[in-house]
Amino acid sequence: MKEKHLIKKDEKVRNALIKLNDLSADAILFLVDDHDRLVGSLTDGDLRRGFIKGLGFEDSILNFIQENPRFIYEDEYDHNKLEDFKKKNFKVIPILNKEREIIDILNFRTRTALIPADAVLMAGGEGKRLRPLTENTPKPLLKIGDKPIIEYNIDRLISVGIKNINLSINYLGDQLVDYFKNGEEKGIGIHYIRETFPLGTIGSVLLAESFEHDDIIVMNSDLLTNIDFADFFKTYKESGADMAVAATSYHVDVPYAVLETDDVQKVKSLKEKPRYTYFSNAGIYIINKKLLNLIPQNKPFDTTDLMEKVIELDNKIITYPINGYWLDIGKHEDFKKAQNDIKHLKL
């Protein structure tokens, strides 16, 4: 919450000390005027240096502050700038709007990036292959370790600065509403898309009330993954693509020697027990909002249908290989594997 890092410019020095003490490892305050506009920053070190100079508890807090603290403007995502802040050991940075009002606080301990995108998680499936586990519980709320599958994905999106998340719900969807509510407890906004009938793997996106940004992360909610969302988004933007598809590698080992021939069956080479690597759709996408115009209203439509449309229109679509962990929890064997894997994963 940003409020714990804010202090009014006319507050007492003693109150600033109390707030800094409460912040512990994140001990920095940002002085603001009556409209929450940034005035300066204050740390324990600033107070200590002021006391050494002869300032006291009755002096104005303005005499202690740093007048030109570092900050970030909203919607000016610059991955390299954030990396530079981290390298210089900045831990807490204010985020300002164009009026220089502090609208949020970026804490690098809890958030690693600021991706300007909305997100939609598909959470409406029945999970039939996981019955009886899903008879009374929607699959996204099945627990892996100490929390539901979907919550790992929501928390990971939050860690890269996503603040507007839509959950597309259907089967036992009220349980998801009861669990996450409006997202306030996590410091974000969670909205719900309700299908009246199945609309495929992306058709329900059109039912969202609105999107704040030009790009949308769409993903299945029953995935367990440590995909680097910041790098995924950076790769997508730098490519100039209209759509990016995360892909997971799939290996096929051939237990025999393979002959490679030309058109007239002349042997060109021999490979002994080769391994072939293919990339499969991982169920995580980034799409430009303009692609929503390609999705038909009130008709079942899958993400693969959208991909085919994008290719057909000669728009740019790229793949992004997931180099880390990825598991689609569709069967009981997957669920059991996830329970074991989560003990060793940092998600």
User: CA-CA-CA-CA torsion for 112, 113, 118, 121, nearest 10 degrees?
Assistant: -30
User: CA-CA-CA-CA torsion for 252, 257, 258, 264, nearest 10 degrees?
Assistant: -170
pLDDT score at 1: 65
Comparing 213 with 26, which gets the higher pLDDT?
Answer: 213
Domains of the chain: 2-107 (3.10.580.10), 118-344 (3.90.550.10)
DSSP state of 296: P
Q: H or E element: which one contains 15? A: helix 13-23
pLDDT score at 143: 92
pLDDT score at 27: 87
Q: How far is CA 68 from CA 41, 64, 311, in A?
A: 8, 13, 49
pLDDT of 34 over the 90 cut: no
CB within 8 A of 125, min separation 6: which ones? 139, 170, 171, 222
Provide the 3-class DSSP secondary structure of residue 74: coil
Give the pLDDT band (50/70/90) at residue 157. very high
Report the alpha-carbon distance of residue 144 to residue 134 in Å, rounded.
14
The predicted model scores a pTM of 0.81
Judging by DSSP bridges, how do beta strands 223-225 and 29-32 pair with one another? unpaired
Tell me the helices (H) and strands (E) count for the chain, helix number first: 8, 19
Q: What angle separates helix 44-52 from helix 13-23, to the nearest 10 degrees?
A: 140
Average pLDDT over the chain, rounded to an integer: 88
Instruction: Tell me whether residue 344 is exposed, middle or buried, using C-beta atoms within 10 angstroms of its C-beta: 0 to 12, 13 to 18, 19 or more.
Output: exposed
For 302-318, how does the pLDDT look when each residue is reduced to its tens digit (9 = 90+)? Answer: 999 999 999 999 999 99
- Which residue's entry shows tokens 């509510």? 181
The mean pLDDT value for 44-48 works out to 89
The mean pLDDT value for 92-119 works out to 86
pLDDT of 294 over the 90 cut: yes
Report the alpha-carbon distance of residue 271 to residue 43 in Å, rounded.
65
Provide the 3-class DSSP secondary structure of residue 268: strand
| CA 142, 117, 203, 194 torsion-angle sign | positive
Q: H or E element: which one contains 286? A: strand 275-288
Report the alpha-carbon distance of residue 162 to residue 227 in Å, rounded.
15
pLDDT of 104 over the 90 cut: no
Report the alpha-carbon distance of residue 233 to residue 217 in Å, rounded.
9
pLDDT of 242 over the 90 cut: yes
Of 123, 143, 259, 141, the C-alpha closest to 204 is 123
Give the pLDDT band (50/70/90) at residue 77. low
CB within 8 A of 140, min separation 6: which ones? 121, 123, 148, 149, 150, 176, 221, 222
DSSP state of 222: T
Comparing 112 with 220, which gets the higher pLDDT?
Answer: 220
